[in-house]
């Protein structure tokens, strides 16, 4: 919405939320999320054509277009628990829009939803005796965290799904006008509503599938002395495969991949496409396996016991340049390391507040330390889980000198210079390539 406000000075954008705390933060100097480049863009539009408010009912009534961006988490209870999407926030929002609308509106699905959700949305909006007309569009968001600004300012594509009726097409054109302020026309794709809804799930499923594919090959590389980085390069240069999203790691995280694949699996099961469901579910299984494999590699390398050993955890966010830890592999990995009775010293430039919350209630010894060198002091090993660029710049000789010996480093992202670390004296365990050890 900030980018829309920046690029379309002729539109007034108001962001509303039920959380007063969040809205206050958006109106303050300390925004509630860290995203590179966002703050200056918020500041340049805020108070001019970008507003943050908790007056939801008034803002609904005033708006011509409403983007629904509420959370759609995985259901944790009842039918479909663990897979289906919890639609309660979408439904509550639809009811609130219906109750407070006195003029016709375009309602845009921004939240990721199961296919045919627009139908439900439309039914709720048009229920009762309100004469207001609502047109529902699907406009899924493909931006990734950490690169949100460039993804939004220079998107690969913008997807808009609409009903194939005169009013549906008219609404679609109104939304297209907004994006045409800065996105070249050929990058705007229009489809029917259901294709648009499904494309969002499928895009995330394909991306996650690439990560699971390369992670599965990483395990094969480790036992055959092949090098997964070399394999990624070799296959990625085939233009049919492409080079992106082929980095092996400790498993994918983030608020979307797992949730969206499980939603896809649930949908396939619902339509009795059991083989298709099993195919996609395997992407999640490999991810779980990859996180567990990372822990086992640490355990095996460190003589099959972690009891009382100090481990410095470098990075907790699910990826660099964000403080977001939703579904971060670090959560699972740290809990497992604590099960093994390791003592953890967790460091991350932006995610420590979230890390504290994520590990609340986990039994064991955990410290949260801003400075990575301090976190590594006296440690038996370093587990690098997030590839923050600052971890490349540390003085590893100095770090090594302060650590217990033999000193281990488990580079879960193949982020560091392994040969240099080995020469310093570390026992180095990368992902998907042979370990370099002095043992
Ligand atoms: C994703 C989609 O990319 C985006 O289009 C969608 O709108 C939201 O979900 P995001 O979750 O922000 O974005 O991050 P992304 O860059 O896709 O990374 C997801 C996870 O996969 C991270 O944990 C990342 O570390 C991991 N990953 C990614 C790998 O392990 N290897 C890779 O090669 C790429």
Beta strands in 276-353 (DSSP E): 310-314, 343-347
Taking the CB of residue 154, how many other CB atoms lie within 10 A of it? 11
Q: Residue 381 in contact with residue 356, Cβ under 8 Å? A: no
Q: Is the pLDDT of residue 129 over 80?
A: no
128, with CB counted inside 10 A (0-12, 13-18, 19+), is exposed
Cα 256 to ligand 1 centre (Å): 8
The radius of gyration of the chain's CA atoms, rounded to the nearest angstrom, is 24
Lowest mean per-residue pLDDT among 32-41, 79-88, 111-120 = 111-120
Q: Which of 385, 371, 412, 367 shows the shortest CA–CA distance to 318?
A: 385
Q: How far apart are the first and last CA of the chain?
A: 55
Q: Is the pLDDT of residue 150 over 80?
A: yes
Label residue 112 by pLDDT band (50, 70, 90): confident
CA separation, residue 304 to residues 133, 219, 296 (Å): 65, 19, 9
Q: Is the CB of 279 under 6 A from ligand 1?
A: no
Cα 150 to ligand 1 centre (Å): 15
Instruction: Mark 312-321 as b/e (b = at least 16 C-beta within 10 Å).
Output: bbbbbbbbbb
Query: Which residues on neighbouring strands pair with residue 53, listed in sequence order?
Result: 16
DSSP state of 46: B
Whole-angstrom distance, CA of residue 217 vs CA of residue 286: 11
Q: Is the pLDDT of residue 405 over 90?
A: yes
Lowest mean per-residue pLDDT among 117-131, 237-251, 291-305 = 117-131
Q: Residue 198 in contact with residue 115, Cβ under 8 Å? A: yes
CA separation, residue 253 to residues 288, 330, 409, 415 (Å): 10, 9, 22, 17
Widest distance between CA atoms in the chain: 77
The predicted pLDDT at position 115 comes to 84
Task: Give the mean pLDDT of the chain.
Answer: 96
Label residue 131 by pLDDT band (50, 70, 90): confident
Whole-angstrom distance, CA of residue 408 vs CA of residue 288: 24
Cα 252 to ligand 1 centre (Å): 7
The predicted pLDDT at position 114 comes to 85
Q: Which residue is listed with tokens 């009726």?
A: 165
The predicted pLDDT at position 428 comes to 98
Label residue 12 by pLDDT band (50, 70, 90): very high
The predicted pLDDT at position 38 comes to 97
pLDDT tens for each residue of 331-381 = 999 999 999 999 999 999 999 999 999 999 999 999 999 999 999 999 999
Write the DSSP assignment of 236-279 as a string of letters.
Answer: HTSTTT-STT----S---SSSHHHHHHHHHHHHHHTT-HHHHHH
Q: Is the CB of 132 under 6 A from ligand 1?
A: no
Q: Is the CB of 249 under 6 A from ligand 1?
A: yes
Please name the residue whose Cα sits nearest to atom 15 of ligand 1: 144
Please name the residue whose Cα sits nearest to atom 11 of ligand 1: 254
Please name the residue whose Cα sits nearest to atom 1 of ligand 1: 144
SS3 167: helix
Please name the residue whose Cα sits nearest to atom 28 of ligand 1: 245
Atom nearest to 257 CA in ligand 1? 9
Q: Is the CB of 228 under 6 A from ligand 1?
A: no
In this prediction, what percent of the chain has a pLDDT beyond 90? 95
Whole-angstrom distance, CA of residue 196 vs CA of residue 139: 7
Q: Is the CB of 431 under 6 A from ligand 1?
A: no
Whole-angstrom distance, CA of residue 246 vs CA of residue 248: 6
Cα 163 to ligand 1 centre (Å): 30
Which two structure tokens, joined as six digits, stand for 258? 């797992």
Whole-angstrom distance, CA of residue 283 vs CA of residue 260: 11
Q: Is the CB of 14 under 6 A from ligand 1?
A: no
Q: Which of 341, 393, 380 shows the shortest CA–CA distance to 363?
A: 341
Q: Is the CB of 252 under 6 A from ligand 1?
A: yes
Please name the residue whose Cα sits nearest to atom 13 of ligand 1: 144
Q: Is the pLDDT of residue 160 over 90?
A: yes
Distance of CA 69 to the CA centre of its chain: 15
In a mutational test of the pocket of ligand 1, which residue from 252, 261, 317, 329 has the highest number of ligand atoms less than 8 Å from its CB?
252
Q: Is the pLDDT of residue 130 over 80?
A: no
Cα 97 to ligand 1 centre (Å): 32
pLDDT tens for each residue of 253-311 = 999 999 999 999 999 999 999 999 999 999 999 999 999 999 999 999 999 999 999 99
Q: Is the CB of 254 under 6 A from ligand 1?
A: yes
CA separation, residue 245 to residues 204, 236, 347 (Å): 12, 9, 25
Label residue 128 by pLDDT band (50, 70, 90): confident
Please name the residue whose Cα sits nearest to atom 6 of ligand 1: 142
Cα 254 to ligand 1 centre (Å): 7
Residues involved in catalysis = 256
256, with CB counted inside 10 A (0-12, 13-18, 19+), is buried
Q: Is the CB of 141 under 6 A from ligand 1?
A: yes
Q: Is the CB of 316 under 6 A from ligand 1?
A: no
Lowest mean per-residue pLDDT among 74-88, 156-170, 387-401, 404-418 = 74-88
Cα 104 to ligand 1 centre (Å): 37
Whole-angstrom distance, CA of residue 113 vs CA of residue 121: 11
């Amino acid at each position: 919405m900030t980018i829309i406000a920046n690029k379309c000075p002729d539109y007034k954008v108001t962001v509303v939320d039920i959380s007063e705390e969040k809205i206050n933060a958006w109106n303050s100097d300390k925004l509630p999320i860290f995203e590179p480049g966002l703050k200056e863009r918020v500041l340049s539009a805020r108070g001019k054509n970008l507003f943050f408010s908790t007056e939801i009912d008034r803002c609904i009534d005033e708006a011509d277009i409403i983007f629904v961006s509420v959370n759609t988490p995985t259901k944790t209870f009842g039918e479909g628990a663990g897979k289906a999407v919890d639609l309660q926030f979408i439904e509550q929002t639809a009811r609130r829009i219906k109750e407070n609308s006195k003029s016709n509106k375009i309602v845009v699905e921004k939240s990721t939803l199961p296919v045919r959700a627009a139908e439900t949305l439309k039914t709720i909006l048009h229920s009762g005796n309100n004469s207001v007309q609502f047109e529902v569009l699907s406009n899924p968001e493909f931006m990734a965290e950490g690169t949100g600004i460039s993804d939004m300012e220079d998107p690969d594509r913008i997807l808009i799904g609409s009903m194939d009726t005169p009013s549906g097409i008219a609404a679609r054109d109104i939304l297209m006008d907004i994006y045409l302020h800065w996105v070249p026309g050929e990058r705007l794709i229009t489809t029917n509503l259901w294709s648009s809804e499904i494309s969002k799930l499928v895009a995330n499923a394909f991306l996650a599938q690439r990560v699971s594919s390369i992670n599965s090959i990483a395990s094969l590389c480790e036992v055959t002395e092949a090098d997964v980085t070399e394999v990624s390069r070799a296959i990625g240069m085939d233009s049919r495969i492409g080079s992106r999203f082929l980095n092996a790691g400790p498993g994918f995280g983030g608020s979307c991949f797992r949730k969206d694949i499980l939603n896809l699996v649930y949908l396939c099961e619902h339509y009795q496409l059991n083989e298709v469901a099993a195919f996609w579910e395997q992407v999640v299984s490999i991810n779980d396996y990859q996180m567990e494999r990372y822990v086992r590699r640490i355990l095996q390398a460190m003589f099959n016991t972690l009891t009382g050993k100090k481990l410095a955890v470098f990075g907790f966010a699910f990826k660099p340049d964000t403080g977001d830890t939703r579904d971060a592999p670090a959560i699972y990995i740290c809990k497992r390391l604590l099960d093994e009775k390791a003592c953890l010293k967790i460091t991350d430039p932006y995610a420590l507040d979230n890390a504290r919350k994520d590990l609340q209630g986990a039994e064991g010894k955990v410290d949260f330390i801003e400075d990575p060198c301090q976190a590594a002091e006296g440690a038996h090993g370093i587990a690098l889980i997030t590839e923050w660029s600052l971890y490349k710049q540390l003085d590893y000789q100095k770090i090594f000198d302060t650590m217990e010996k033999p000193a281990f480093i488990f580079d879960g992202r193949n982020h560091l210079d392994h040969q240099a670390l080995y020469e310093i004296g570390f026992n180095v365990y990368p992902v998907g390539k042979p370990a370099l050890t002095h043992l």
